[in-house]
Amino acid sequence: MFGPQLFQTIRLGVKSLLLHKLRSAWAVLGILIGVTAVIWLVAMGEGVSFQAQQQIKDLGATNIIIRSVKPAMNSSAAAVGSFFAEYGLKRDDFRRLQDVPSVIGAAPIRELNLKEARYMDRALDVRIVGCRTEYQDLNHLVLAGGRFISAQDESRVENVCVLASTSASVLFRYEDPIGKSIYLDGEYYVVVGVTKERGATGNIGGSFTGQDYNKDVYIPLQTLRARIGDMVMTAKAGGREGEVVELNQITVTVRDISDVDETAAVIQNLLERFHKNGDFALIVPKELLKQAEVTRMMFNVLLVLIAGIALVVGGIGIMNIMLATVTERTREIGIRRALGAKRRDIVNQFLAETLVLSSTGGLLGVAFGFSVSYVVAGGRWLFDQFFPTALSTLPPTIRDLTPIIAPWSVISAFVISLLVGIVFGLYPARRASLMDPIEALRHE
C-alpha cells in the first residue's frame, strides 16, 4: 500500500504545482541556480588547483631546489653610492652536494635578467640561462627545431645558444633561426635549437618565483662563465652596483621520494656550514604539493559555502511559495481532514510538493552544471573577440583555465537541494496539518 499511496501523493503534488506554473517555476529556478553555482564554482576551483599542482609536479617530487637569495643592502654602502654584493651558491657547493649519498643527480644554473639579444635591426630583452643538457628534462622544455645544449658544447666552451619561442619569433620572425648568429652581451652565438612555447609558472607557495620560459636564451654554463663571468655591474646615478654570483640555482634529484625530507635536512645542514649569512633557500616540491592539496580543500569548502547561500535563498523561496499555497488551499485542507485525512497525510502531501520542486530544480541544476566547460570556453571566445589585449594580460592560470567537474560536488549539490526542500517545506506542511478542520471549512 505504501508504494501506490506514495505515488498518488506525488501525483497530486505535481498536479497542484502545475496549477501555478509561473510561481512554481520561480521556486525551481532558485534551487537550479544554487545547484549550478555549487558545481560551477567547485569545477573552476578544481581547474585552478589542478594547474597549480601540475606546476609543482613539474618541479619533480624527488627534486630539491636550492636557490640563491640576495641579502639586504648594507646601509653604509648605499650611503656612498656603491654596493657590491657577493652572495649565493658556489661551484664548490655543487661539488659537495654531489657527494651526498642519496643524491643521484644535480644540475647547476646561472641566470642573468634583462640582457639585450640582437639580430640585424631587431632586439629583445631576454633572460640568459647558463645551463647543462639536463636542464631541458628538469623544466620539461620541448624542442621545436634543432637540438639543446650538449655536453660537448659545455666541455668545449662553445658559443652556441638555444632560443625560447618568443625570443625566436621576435628576433627572426619568419626566418629559420637554426645556424644563424645573434649578438648577446658583446659576443656572437650560433643558434642550434628553438624550444616550443611553454606556460609560465606561477609563484608557488610564496617560495618559488614565477618564471616565463618563453623569453629565455640558453647557453652552456661554462660558456657563460668564460664570456660573461660571475660579476654583473649596473650603473646608476651617483655610483655603481654590482653582484658576484656563481650559481643562482642547484636542482638535486634523490633516489626515492621517501629520501626527500632526510636529504633536504642534510643539504640544509651542509650549506649552513659555508653560508653563515643564510643567502640560500631550499624548496621541496613534495611539501609544496601537500600545501597545495590543503589549500585546494579549504578553497573548495569556501566555494561550497558561498554557493550554499544560493541554495538557502532558493529554499526560502520554496517556503514562501508553500506558505502562500497553504493559505490558498485552506478550504481544501479542511475538506480532506473532514473526509478522514490525518495530520501526517497533510504533512506528507505538502512535503511531497516541496520535494517535487527541489528535486526538479536539483536535476536541472545538475544538467546545467555539466555545461560549465562550454560556458567557460564560450566566455573566453567572446572575451577574445571584444577584449583581445586584456585577455593576453591575464595570468596563465586564469587564461587557460579548464574546469574539472568533481563528482562529489554533483552528488552533494543534489542531496543538499533535497534537504533544503525538506527543511524549508516542513514548516508550511506542519502549519497546514495543524489547521482546525471546522475553521478551514469556513474559509472563503
> Do 74 and 35 belong together in one domain?
no
> Do 239 and 154 belong together in one domain?
yes
> Do 13 and 156 belong together in one domain?
no
Residue 397 lies in a domain: yes
Cα 156 from chain centroid (whole Å): 42
> Do 411 and 351 belong together in one domain?
yes
Residue 61 lies in a domain: no
Residue 285 lies in a domain: no
pLDDT of 119-149, one tens digit each? Answer: 999 999 999 999 999 888 877 789 999 999 9
Residue closest to 290 by CA, chosen among 58, 53, 42:
53
Q: Which single residue is written with the C-alpha cell 631541458?
A: 136
Number of structural domains the chain divides into: 2
> What is the extent of the structural domain holding 332?
2-56+291-442
> Do 127 and 39 belong together in one domain?
no
pLDDT of 267-293, one tens digit each? Answer: 999 999 999 888 899 888 766 667 667
> Do 249 and 303 belong together in one domain?
no
Lowest mean pLDDT among 3-7, 18-22, 309-313, 353-357: 3-7
- Residues 293 and 94: their CA atoms lie apart, in Å, by 32
Characterize the bridge pairing of strands 82-86 and 143-146: unpaired
> Do 49 and 107 belong together in one domain?
no
> Do 100 and 217 belong together in one domain?
yes
> Do 431 and 336 belong together in one domain?
yes
> Do 256 and 352 belong together in one domain?
no
> Do 91 and 128 belong together in one domain?
yes
> Do 132 and 262 belong together in one domain?
yes
pLDDT at 188: 95
Residues 6+ apart with CB under 8 A from 112: 127, 128, 130, 185, 224, 228, 232
- Residues 315 and 308: their CA atoms lie apart, in Å, by 10
pLDDT of 199-230, one tens digit each? Answer: 665 444 444 455 678 899 999 999 999 999 88
Residue 62 lies in a domain: no
pLDDT of 228-242, one tens digit each? Answer: 988 877 655 556 677
- Residues 266 and 387: their CA atoms lie apart, in Å, by 51
Residue 64 lies in a domain: no
